[in-house]
Structure 1
Amino acid sequence: VVALRFKDGVAFAIEKIITSRLYESGSNKRIHNVDKHIGMAIVGLLADARQLLTTARDEAKQYKHDYGVSIPVKYLADRLAMYMHAYTLYGFVRPFGCFILLAAYEGDGPQLYGVEPSGVTYNYFGIAVGKAQQTAKTEIEKLKLSELKLEDAVKEAAKIIYQVHDEVKDRMFELELSWVGKLNDGKHERVPKHIFDDAEKYAKASLEEASDDDDEM
């Protein structure tokens, strides 16, 4: 997964490996809504992550019931961090086998949080988690995130996913893209199809261009 926080929002891009052609497209999604304004991206064991997604939604619902406003993403990240940390304290339970990312666009701007299985949480400008994460992080560091617009950030995130994809080990994969930001009134949602298609086209073209440059060398 690649997540970019830029001046107007946050973008998620996920490489979902397809292990069989018999799977229906769109199965086992790794990007979800916790609330209208908060998105969650999942890396690791899906079964474990579903429990965390349910817990996050319950927290959001309870906060709205108690205070009459939507839950701040930082508060949610801290609550999930405590929940995940509790599973590292006892011998009769195991830690969660997943890393989760939370994104939102709030009054003080875009927010991106990551929660590790240990219960440690960080606020990020950009992050890559999973296979080839170091290569992806290097590509993220090249970007001027503070200058990126929403659609450009989605394209760059998709480009990084295609750049680090290992065609030898994992031939088939499905790209997932979502965003939350000022442009869509702070609602987390999957990118519209025409923008998704443009981002995928841009990513493939960039990959072919890089391949041609390597051949010339």
Structure 2
Amino acid sequence: MSSIGTGYDLSVTTFSPDGRVFQIEYAAKAVDKSGTVIGIKCKDGIVMGVEKLIASKMMLPCSNRRIHSVHRHSGMAVAGLAADGRQIVARAKSEATNYQSVYGEPIPVKELAERVASYVHLCTLYWWLRPFGCGKILGGYDRDGPQLYIWLNRLASPIIYKVHDEAKDKAFELEMSWVCDESKQQHQKVPDDLLEEAKAAATTALEEMDAD
């Protein structure tokens, strides 16, 4: 993506002659080039899944995580630039800790989503900042039940396997977490046995679709 003229892509507050903001477009492009991230809200909890592309064979399995716990009852999945995602997760953890210390209870998922969204929006208002090159899904369980915000098991995994683009020429790992009644309303990685079961179900489903 190239700018129309010199300097139009140097600031998030600079518009090109045709009204484009290239810094925002660059951030969106970083998300497009990343693996797929999905969140599913069920009646008893939330499941998040990530197509984590493996950029190098030298990377250890399960490294460079894309799903993070924000606090005990919520987590965040990130697509796009991993470093930007970690900064947003760190901010979310800080907001959750501050709320807990002031009010003496876990932060509601809606309140956390609003605080994180305000922080992300802030970086699009000033010329000396740049927008975060990542997309986020926040899922959690609070007194209002399971909540999912976007800025299983067997449902999530076939979607990720199906949309994986072989043209990317990169292998990928399936990373999944949940916060539900089964996990005692705490955000955790999906147990390995269920993850392997989900992978097998996804492979079977794709084979059946290809056969049709």
User: CA RMSD, aligned part only?
Assistant: 1.0
Identity, in percent, stands at: 47
2:147 counterpart of 1:111: yes
Name stretches of at least 5 consecutive residues in structure 1 with no aligned partner: 116-152
Match of residue 130 from structure 2: 94
Match of residue 59 from structure 1: 95
Name stretches of at least 5 consecutive residues in structure 2 with no aligned partner: 1-36
| Structure 2 counterpart SS, 1:11 | strand
Match of residue 203 from structure 1: 202
TM-score normalised by length of structure 1: 0.79
Q: Shift of the alpha carbon at 1:107?
A: 2.0
1:35-74 equivalent positions in 2, closer than 5 A = 35-74=71-110
Deviations 1:54-76 (A, max 9, x none): 11111111111111100111101
CA distance in 2, matches of 1:170, 1:17: 10
Between 163-172 and 18-27, report the one with greater CA deviation. 163-172
Q: Shift of the alpha carbon at 1:98?
A: 1.0
Match of residue 165 from structure 1: 164
Contact 1:17 1:173 in 2 (8 A): yes
CA distance in 2, matches of 1:74, 1:170: 38
Match of residue 24 from structure 1: 60
2:184 counterpart of 1:178: no
Contact 2:44 2:181 in 1 (8 A): yes
Match of residue 24 from structure 2: none
Contact 1:180 1:187 in 2 (8 A): yes
TM-score normalised by length of structure 2: 0.80
Contact 1:10 1:111 in 2 (8 A): yes
CA distance in 2, matches of 1:160, 1:170: 19
**Higher relative contact order, structure no. (Cα contacts within 8 Å, ≥ 6 residues apart):** 1
Contact 2:38 2:137 in 1 (8 A): no
Q: Shift of the alpha carbon at 1:173?
A: 0.5
2:117 counterpart of 1:81: yes
CA distance in 2, matches of 1:71, 1:8: 19
Match of residue 189 from structure 1: 188
Deviations 1:59-106 (A, max 9, x none): 111111111100111101101111111111111111111111111122
